[in-house]
Amino acid sequence: MGMTAGKTTAEKLAEKNGVTFYRINSDKFKTTRVDVFFLDELKKERASGNALLPLLMKRGCSAYPSVKELEKKLEELYGADLDGGVIKKGELQFLAFHVSHISDRYTGGDEKLFDECGKLLQCMLENPLVEGNGFKESLFKQERDNMVDYIRSRVNDKMRFSFSRCIEEMCSGEPYAVNEEGSEEDVLLLTPQNTLELHQEMIHTYPAYAYISGQVDDRSLERFIDSFLAKSRDSIKPISTQCVQKEAKEVKRVDENMDVNQGKLCLGFRTNIDPCSPDYYPLVVYNGILGGDTNSKLFRNVREKASLAYYAQSVLEKYKGLMIIMSGIEAENRGKAEKIILEQVEDMKKGNLSEADLKAAKNALETGTRAMQDSQGAIVDFFMSQNLTNCEDDFETMTEKFKSVTLEDVVRVAQKVQLDTVYFLKPDGSEKKEGNI
């Protein structure tokens, strides 16, 4: 299997038992890495269980039943790394696992690190630490309590908290409103038994993707694919495609009080643009010009010129067709800040933007695309996202598409962006008495 130097591609190797295997071709890395993703639809009643699974599974497996034994094994494998977690992409939840190790070329011995690490990953996936008909009790309690603490601590990062509250309000009644770790009450409904049942369901029925990156010989790859999840996987769950079209009828306004000294203003927009549509690339450029970085209109006008915000930026949620503008402001400036932010959005619709704006946004995107290719994890994430949305583009064609975006394209997509929700987290006055806003 030859490859062109410098070009990063994903090559489909096989599909078996509801697992699709890809090889990432890139000659940059001294490490070999296997990423495995199990997919489930994001649902309130399953989100917390799905999120807890990787935390339990990465603590050990039948062959290495304690953290100490697992760490010793990883040390023997030249400091290999084994990890797991959960990610939300649109209205899907990904249970993500990976193992990475130094490439066999660099060990000097005749070890087959790839084979060993592959076995370790399989052990983690298929033979977690169980007791009776549930996960090991002490381990379960520890990880469940950690997760409750983590969910409670989300409120401490006010920027992130206001962002997720804006999304919860905006997407109320849609699966996207569910947080990737679910909720505290749902975590508390989990038991070692019902979590192990969910694990069995994951192993037997969730569609899965495996990405192998780094140097691996074809024979080792074949062995890995042949042995991977060889247990019965005959009733793979279908995953429904995601819908990004939703008319924003009237603007929802939500104000919440909290003991904060800085207000957080979040504006949620519907872009109605599918990640595989030709309009997606102009949308990314649009977002860059509007609020992508320190060259952006939001940063220049809301923060620099009017000094109304500590920060002002916009981010896209690619899979759900959303754009969120976030800013941190003094509570009394709320009205002014919202007005100037919305003026920038209107400006984009009217086409008040320059070639210099366009160039700056494109340059930032090109730099970002290059930087992504320096990280194995980011490369895998990119190709996984492409598969998820059935998009064919690789890094090169994506860069070309960004380059070919015109000002007209940007103004065209600007028309589609509709304000849906305005969320304001405001100081509750415990700091000082507030005037009417």
- In this predicted model, what pLDDT tens digit does every residue of 297-327 receive, in sequence order? 998 888 778 787 788 999 999 999 999 999 9
What separation in angstroms does the CA of 224 have from each of 13, 17, 103, 217? 12, 14, 16, 11
Superfamily of domain 252-427: Metalloenzyme, LuxS/M16 peptidase-like (3.30.830.10)
Q: Could you state, in order of their start, the residue ranges of all structural domains in the chain?
A: 9-227, 252-427
CA angle, residues 41, 199, 14, in degrees to nearest 5: 70
Phi/psi of residue 424, nearest 5 degrees: -130, 120
For the stretch 95-131, pLDDT in tens is 999 999 998 778 766 668 999 999 999 999 999 999 9
Terminus-to-terminus CA distance in the chain, angstroms?
Answer: 65
Q: Domain 9-227 classified CATH 3.40.50.2300?
A: no
Same fold: 9-227 with 252-427: yes
Contact, 302 vs 352, CB < 8 A?
Answer: no
Query: The pTM is what?
Result: 0.91
For the stretch 165-209, pLDDT in tens is 999 999 999 999 999 999 999 999 999 999 999 999 999 999 999
For the stretch 136-161, pLDDT in tens is 999 999 999 999 999 999 989 999 99
Picking from 317, 331, 377, the residue whose alpha carbon sits closest to that of residue 89 is 317
